[in-house]
Amino acid sequence: MNRTAFMILMISIVAIAFIAMWLAWRARARRDAGVLGAAAALTGEVLARFDRLQYISTTPVGDPMGRVAAPGLRYRGPAEVVVHRDGVTIQVAGESPVQVPATQIDGTGTAGRRAGKAVESEGLALLRWHSGSDPRELESSFRFTEKDDQRRFSDTIHELVGAGTTGTPDELGNTQEGLR
């Protein structure tokens, strides 16, 4: 095989790989388009506001590497999270705000790894919730710059859902449940 034929073959393989990744992401985005449903803007009292955090990803419970591509939660980036008396607003930079009503919030937890990030044990804060239109339970993960903010986030979510549960995924990615 001469050099020109080899270069054409390599460029073709790379192009096919990128096209396959693009098609797979579009299929995932179509599959997850209805996860959020239509949620009204939250108007309840603001319990806490977190401005300095990183949104990592939203994944199904028990599948920490299976990213959910719901509108507003598709991409990792700096975020603002506001906990209202009637739910949580997640605003990732450059994305539409996501409203999760309090009735869909299941609790909070911690993790060491998720799709898009691996940190020390319990370095990521998790918001556990479910969608009214999707049967999957989901976990949105955040990286706080300050541990005190992460604790305050957990306490505020606990206050919001009452006697909520917290979970700590083990090294295999399984969630261990326990009452807080």
CA–CA distance, 85 with 108 (Å, rounded to integer): 16
pLDDT greater than 70 at residue 8: yes
What is the DSSP track for 75-113? Answer: S-EEEEEEEETTEEEEEETTS--EEEEGGGEEEEEEESE
Under the banding of pLDDT at 50, 70 and 90, the label for residue 162 is confident
- The region that residue 70 occupies, defined by phi over 0 for left and psi between -120 and 50 for alpha, beta otherwise, is beta
Residue 109 bridge partners (DSSP): 126, 167
Instruction: Report if pTM > 0.85.
Output: no
Q: Which tens digits make up the pLDDT trace of 130-140? A: 887 667 788 99
Q: Which residues contact 20 (CB under 8 A, 6 or more apart)?
A: none
Q: What φ, ψ does residue 11 adopt, rounded to 5°?
A: -65, -40
Q: Which tens digits make up the pLDDT trace of 81-90? A: 999 998 899 9
Is 46-179 CATH 3.40.50.720?
no
| Domain ranges across the chain | 46-179
